[in-house]
Amino acid sequence: MFTAENWPIGANMLSFGSRTSDGTPTLEASSSVWASQLRQVKELGVDQVDPTDAWLPLAKLSDERIEEFRRVLDGEGLSLSSISMTRNSIVDVEHGEENLADAHRFLEIAPSFGVSVVNTGFMQGLTEKQAQAIWFWLEDGHVDDPALRDLAIERTRELGDAAKAQGIQLSLEMYEDTYVGTADEAVSFLKDVDHDAVGLNPDLGNLVRLHREVEPWSDMFEKVLPHSNFWHIKNYTRDYDAATGAYSSAPMPLKYGYINYRTVIRRALELGYTGPFCCEHYGSDSLGVIAENVHYIRQVLTSALAESA
């Protein structure tokens, strides 16, 4: 069992984007660029990161560059809390097989970084309208094809076997209009996968930001937390005007948003949650907010674990 001090809580490196200031893909950037960006995380008092493939797709790196990245991490005094694969669905009609191969590669390299869980999901790239919106979730995006659900289950089970062989876990990120797009759908899909190395990522921030009706957050968490093994954690404001039918939402630090994470994290611990956290935020000084969220989670854990000791 982790303590509040050593529980894996990472900063999602998505804050830096997939390209450097001169347009070079982070994948092709020099290790000095990686070091500079990682150093900014360390300077905020955060010791772990999740190198999401939206920042640096480790699965695309050669063995030599993997070792280069490892040296940079060590040099900056950082470690990995988790590895996330996003918007690269394993049943994407055009790139599904390539994405499946990348997922296998992530699972292969994860243990060498001390990572216990690899996150994936069925969300796909932003549409042009989403990319142009002030917040991408204000526009409708990809919707999973029910005809591919059986293939999604088959490939997820394949990745579960690979994860189990490595002694680690696979987590499925909840995201609207995918096979794990609601609490009920996520639990149903997981039951159909039926693999002890596969769990859920209860990223309900993805849902409460939507300008549509969603289940109350407390009800959703109660359904999915017993099956959760990793957590992309973020918060938003959420409001609904019944007179006009208008919704509004905006990113917020964990302790100020719509979801009461002090309550939710404590409930997760009661239900046996032991997975890593990965802090995310969109807009503003996202990295600064992420750092605040990391420290907030540690405080909540300190209080909750002291009571259960």
pLDDT in tens, 172-211: 999 999 999 999 999 999 999 999 999 999 999 999 999 9
Q: Quick one: tokens of 42? A: 């360390």
Quick one: pLDDT band at residue 294, thresholds 50, 70, 90?
very high
State the chain's mean pLDDT as an integer: 97
**How much is the average pLDDT of 46-66?**
97
Residue 28 pLDDT: 96
- Determine which helix (DSSP H) or strand (DSSP E) holds 207, and give its type and residue range: helix 205-208
3-state DSSP assignment of residue 134: coil
**How much is the average pLDDT of 113-138?**
97
3-state DSSP assignment of residue 231: strand
Residue 176 pLDDT: 98
Instruction: 39-45: list long-range contacts, CB under 8 Å, 24+ apart.
Output: 39/76, 40/287, 41/11, 41/13, 41/78, 41/287, 41/291, 42/76, 42/77, 42/78, 44/11, 44/287, 44/288, 44/291, 45/291, 45/294, 45/295
**How much is the average pLDDT of 288-306?**
97
Quick one: pLDDT band at residue 307, thresholds 50, 70, 90?
confident
Give the pTM. 0.97
Q: CA-CA distances (angstroms) from residue 44 to 16, 120, 178, 277?
A: 15, 27, 35, 17
Q: What is the CA radius of gyration of the chain?
A: 18
3-state DSSP assignment of residue 15: helix
Check whether 9 has a pLDDT greater than 80.
Answer: yes
Q: CA-CA distances (angstroms) from residue 36 to 26, 43, 105, 240?
A: 12, 11, 26, 42
CATH architecture assigned to 9-307: Alpha-Beta Barrel (3.20)
> Which of 308, 215, 229, 234 has its CA nearest to residue 276?
229
**How much is the average pLDDT of 27-49?**
97
**How much is the average pLDDT of 156-162?**
98
Residue 32 pLDDT: 96
Cα 107 to Cα 160: distance, rounded to the nearest angstrom: 10
pLDDT in tens, 101-115: 999 999 999 999 999
Residue 204 has phi, psi (to 5 degrees) of -75, -10
Residue 47 has phi, psi (to 5 degrees) of -105, -5
Residue 1 pLDDT: 80
Q: Quick one: tokens of 242? A: 């019944």
Contact, 246 vs 240, CB < 8 A? yes
DSSP state of 126: P
Report domain extents, the chain: 9-307
